[in-house]
A and B are shown apart, each in its own frame.
Chain A
Amino acid sequence: MSRNPRNPRNAPALVTTGLAKNYGDRPALEPLDLEVPVGEHVALVGHNGSGKTTLLKMAAGLLDPSDGAVKICGHGSGTEGARRSLSWLSDSPTFYDDLSLWEHLEYIGRLHGVEQWEEPAERLVTTMGLSDRRDDIPTTFSRGLRQKAAITLACIRPFDVWLVDEPFVGLDATGKEALLAEFDLAAARGATLLVATHELTFVNRVGRLLALRDGQLTYDGPPSGTDVHALVMPS
C-alpha cells in the first residue's frame, strides 16, 4: 500500500488540543481535546449555539481559535497541507456571481490541481440533478439548488477529510439521497467525515457520535444505545 502524499505519516485526520473559542466574554467552545483517526465517520450534534459550526470553522481554518490548536492529517489548520487534505461544505454556500456552475466546477477543480475535471463534474451535476442548470449562475438558484451546487463543489476535488455543516438543510428527498451516496463514496475511498447536523436519523450511519452543549463536549462514543434527543437538548 503506497503512502498518501497528503498524509505521508498517516497522522490522525483531525486532532484538537485545548481548542477554545470565545466571542468577547462569552465562550463558544470550551477547551476541547479530540482525536479523529483516519477513515472514521463522525456525527456532531448539539442544540443551536452549542459550538458545532465554531468547531468546524476552526478546523477548516476559517476561524482563529482563542486558544489551542487543530491539526488536519498532521498539518496545522489553514496551512497548505491542511487545505490540500480538507474539503469544507458550509451551511451557507457562497458563489461567484459571474461564473456558471460548470465554470465554478472547473475553477475549483483546477485550484486543487484536478487534471480531468470534466468527467467527475459531469457525474456530480447528474447525481445532484443539476444537469440542466450547469450553465446557470448558482447565485440565482433556490436554497435547495444552491446547497446541491455547493455539494458538487465540495466533491470536485480530492480530499482526505470532509467537514460538513448542516448539509441536509433545504435538500429535497432526492438531494438527501444523493448526498448520502456521496458520503458513502467518500467513505469507501477512506476519507474521514465529520458532519454537524440536526438530522438525528443520520447518526445511525456513523461510527462515532460527538455531542456539544453550550460549547462543552458532553458525549463522545458510539451512537447506538444513546438517547440522541436528550443529547441535543439545551441546558
Chain B
Amino acid sequence: MAAKKVNKGNPADDPAADDRSADAIDDGRLGDAVATHVDPNSVTDHGEPETDVRTGQVVGGPTTASTASGRRAKGRSGPETPTAAMVALRRTRQRHRLGNIEWFEAAYRVYLLALFGGGTVLWLSGLIGDKPVDPATADAFARHAPAVLGVAAVLALLAGLRSGAQGGPLALEAPDVMYVMLAPVDRRRALVRPAIQRLRSAAYAGGVLGAIAGQLAGRRLPGSTIAWAASGAIFGIAIGMIWIGAAMVAHATHAPLWSMTLVGLALLVWQVFAAVGTHAPAPGNLVGSLALWGWRQRGIDALALVVIVAVVIVGLALLRRTSLDALARRSGLVAQLRFAVTMQDLRTVILLRRQLNQEQTRNRPWVRLPTRNRKHAVWRRGWHSLLRLPATRVVRMALVAAAAGASQALVLRGTSPALLLTAGLLFLLGLESMEPLSQEVDQPDRAESLPIERGSLMVRHLAAPAAALVPFALIAAAAATVVTVVNSHGRYTWSSAATVAAILCIPTVLGGAAGAVVSIVRDAPDPFANASQQAFMPPEMAGVTTLLRVVIPLVVSALATVNVLLVRQAELRGDSTVGAAIRGAIGTILLVAATAWWVRKRDDMRKAIKSFMSQGRDYTTEQRSAR
C-alpha cells in the first residue's frame, strides 16, 4: 500500500484533505484513504495537536487500545477529517446506489410518466383552446394576475413556515442521524447536501408545473408560448424555493408553530385582500408578476428573486441549528413516505404526512359516548375513533369541504375542469373521515381473527364516518350556495341555489368519499392472492395495475361529482333545476350503494374468480394429460 505524501500541518487548515481522501475512496483505495491520516482526536478543539492524548486520565473505548500505542505510521501525515470521511463514504454509497438501479424499469417509468403526463398536458391544452383573449381581458389579466398568483407564493411561504416549525424540511436516513449527526462532523457541512437536494427537487417540481401552466397561458395571452413557459418555470422555481427557504429559516429560529402560522396567515389575508380587488401592494405581488415575464418584463420583479435567494442563503447558513430531535423523528417517516409515493399509495402518504406534522389523535374524545348502550360494537368503535380527531384535522376537513362546495359552484357556472378539483377534494375528505375503516385495514391480523366475515365488518365500518360527513356536506352546501349566488349574475336566487345545494350535498360528499373507500379497501391484504403471480407479473401489467390502483378510486369520486352537470344542463334548457338535482342525487346514491355492495361482496367475488380460474387450469391440465 503506497503511502501518500500529504501536508503535515493541521488538517483543519488543509482544505484539500477532504478531496484527497475522497479521491482515494473513488479509486477503490479505501485503505489508503484511511491510512494516510492520523486520528483527529489528537487535535484539540482549538486546532492544536496533542503530543500524547492516549495517556490521560480519560480515554476512549476499546478503539484506543490500538491507537494508544502511538503506532502512527512514519511518513503518514495529513489527518483525515471526519467530514472528509463522510464526503468520501457518501460518494461511494452513491456509486453503489447508481450501480443498483434497474435501468430498464427506470426507463419504463419515465416512459409511462411521459406518456400520461404528455397526454394530460394535451388534454388541458384542448380545454383551454387557442383563441387569443380580447385586449380588455388581457389588460384585466395583467392588472389582477400578480396579486392572484402572489397568493400561491404566500401559501408556499405559509406552508414553509409551518413545515420548519414542525421540524422540516430536511429528512435524513435514520442511520445518518444516529451515526453521522452524532459524530464530530461539521453539521452544516453534513446537512448542506440534503438541503440542496431538497431545494432542487422542490424547484424542479415547481418549475415543471410552472412551465406547463405558462405554456397553457401562452396559448391565449399575448406573447410567445415559449416565453410564457419560461416565465412560468421561473415562477414555479421561485415558489419551490420560497417553500424550502422559509422552512429552513423557520426551523433554525426554533419558533413555535403557532407564531409561524400566525405570521403566514396574516400575510395570506393581506395577499388575498389584494387579490380580490383592492389592488393594494402585497408581499406576493412581485413573485406573482414574475409569471407574466413571458408577456411583459418589469425590472422591479427581479427584487423578488433577490429576496428569495437571500432567504435560501440564510437558511443554508443556519443549517447548523437544525434540531436533531426533529431529524430523528422525521427520518423513519420520510423513508416510509417515499416508499408510499413510489407505490402510489395515497392513503399511506396522507397517513404519514399527518405523522410528520405530529398530528396525533386526542387522548380524550370531544364527547364521551354513553356506556349504557353496548350494542353495535363497530358503530361505537367508529365514533370512538372519530371523536378523537384533533381540532386541526376537523378544521382542515371543514376547509376541504368548503373548497369542494365552491368548486362545484364553479362547475355550475361553466368551468367543467373544476369537476376534477372537486373529485380530488372529496377523495381527500373521504380519506380523512374513513379513519376507523383505515385502522381496520391496517390491522389485518386482528380483523381476520374476528368471528365475522371481513366484507360485512368493513361495510359496518362505513356507517359512522358516513354520518360524520353530514356536517361537512352542509358546509360544502353553504359554500356552494354563496359562490353560486355571487357568480350567477341574478340567474340563481339564494333559495334556489340553497335548494339545489341541499339536495346534492350529502349524496355528492358521500359519493366522493366512496372513492376513498375503494382506495382503502383495495389496500387490504387479499386472502386469496397468490404472491408468486404478483411477483412474476410482466412490467407492462404491473405498470397498468399500479396506475389503475391510483386512478379507479379517483374515477369513482369524479363520478359522484358529475350530478351538477345535470343541473347545469337543466338551467341551460330552462328545465327545473330542482328536478335535475333530485335525479342527480338519486344517481349518486346508487353509486354509493354500489360501492357499499362491492365492499361487502369483494371477497366473495375474488373467491369466485379464483375458483373459476383454478377450475380452468385443472381442466386444461386434464386435456393435456389426455392428449
Contacts and interface: CB of A to CB of B under 8 A. Distances in A.
Interface of A: 1-8, 10, 38-39, 60-64, 73, 78, 80-81, 83-84, 86-88, 90, 94-96, 98-99, 104, 106-117, 119-120, 123-124, 153-160, 162, 182, 185-186, 189-191
Contacts of A119: 66
Nearest to A60: B182
B58 A156 contact: no
B85 A2 contact: no
Contacts of B174: 94
A130 to B, nearest CB: 15
Contact of B179 (A5, A98, A108): A108
A96 B141 CA distance: 53
B175 A84 contact: no
Interface string B163-193: 0000000000111011110111111000000
Contacts of B41: 5-6, 84, 112-113, 158
Which of A8, A96, A114, A159 has most chain B Cβ within 10 Å? A114
Given A111-B85, A116-B67, A10 B38 contact: no
B545 interface: no
Nearest to B66: A119
Contacts of A84: 41, 184
Interface stretch (B74-82, B494-502, B583-591): B74-82
A120 B65 contact: yes
Contact of B56 (A4, A162, A185): A4
A106 B96 contact: no
A84 B45 CA distance: 10
Contact of A158 (B61, B93, B187): B61
B58 A115 contact: no
Interface string B311-333: 00000000000011110100000
Nearest to A153: B179
Contact of A190 (B59, B71, B187): B59
Given A5-B43, A80-B184, A96-B173, 19 more contacts: A4-B57, A5-B41, A6-B41, A7-B58, A62-B324, A63-B328, A81-B184, A88-B178, A98-B97, A110-B34, A111-B184, A115-B34, A115-B39, A119-B66, A120-B62, A154-B61, A157-B63, A189-B60, A191-B59
A124 B65 CA distance: 12
25 contacts: A1-B57, A2-B50, A4-B59, A6-B58, A10-B58, A62-B325, A62-B328, A64-B323, A78-B324, A80-B185, A106-B30, A111-B185, A112-B184, A113-B37, A113-B80, A114-B63, A115-B38, A119-B66, A120-B66, A155-B62, A157-B63, A157-B183, A158-B59, A182-B62, A186-B62
A191 B41 CA distance: 16
A62 B329 CA distance: 9
B44 interface: yes
B463 interface: no
B45 A117 contact: no
Nearest to B45: A81
A7 B53 CA distance: 11
Which of A90, A99, A104, A113 has its CB near the most chain B CB atoms (within 10 A)?
Answer: A113
Nearest to B331: A94
B224 interface: no
Q: Which interface residue of A1, A10, A83 has the most chain B CB atoms within 10 A?
A: A83
A189 B59 contact: yes
B111 to A, nearest CB: 27
A36 to B, nearest CB: 13
B72 interface: yes
A106 B21 CA distance: 14
B534 interface: no
B485 interface: no
Given A80-B184, A99-B93, A112-B82, A106 B34 contact: yes
Contacts of B56: 1-5
Contacts of B38: 115
Nearest to B82: A111
A109 B66 CA distance: 12
Q: Which 3 A-B pairs have the closest CB atoms?
A: A158-B60, A110-B85, A113-B40
B336 interface: no
Given A4-B53, A60-B182, A63-B325, A110 B80 contact: yes
Contacts of A60: 182
Given A112-B82, A115-B72, A190 B39 contact: no
Contacts of A10: 57-58
Nearest to B326: A64
Contacts of A162: 61
Contact of A4 (B58, B100, B184, B323): B58
Interface string B478-494: 00000000000000000
A1 B61 contact: no
Contacts of A124: 62
Contacts of A117: 34, 63
Find the residue from A4, A61, A109, A182 having the highest chain B CB count within 10 A. Answer: A4
A86 B58 CA distance: 12
Contacts of B323: 64
Contact of A1 (B30, B55, B80, B86): B55
Contact of A115 (B37, B100, B326): B37
A23 B39 CA distance: 40
B471 to A, nearest CB: 27
Contact of B64 (A88, A90, A189): A189
Contact of A5 (B53, B66, B180, B183): B53
A137 to B, nearest CB: 12
Nearest to A87: B61
Interface in B1-56: 30, 34-35, 37-45, 50-53, 55-56
B89 interface: yes
A235 B519 CA distance: 45
Contact of A112 (B34, B43, B183): B183
Contacts of B39: 113-115, 158
A162 B60 CA distance: 9
Contacts of A159: 60-61
A38 to B, nearest CB: 6
A157 B61 contact: yes
Interface in B451-510: none
Most buried by A among B34, B39, B100, B179: B179
Contacts of B59: 4, 158, 160, 189-191
A10 B37 CA distance: 28
A46 to B, nearest CB: 21
Nearest to A110: B85
Given A2-B53, A64-B325, A81-B45, A111 B60 contact: no
Nearest to B88: A110
Nearest to A154: B61
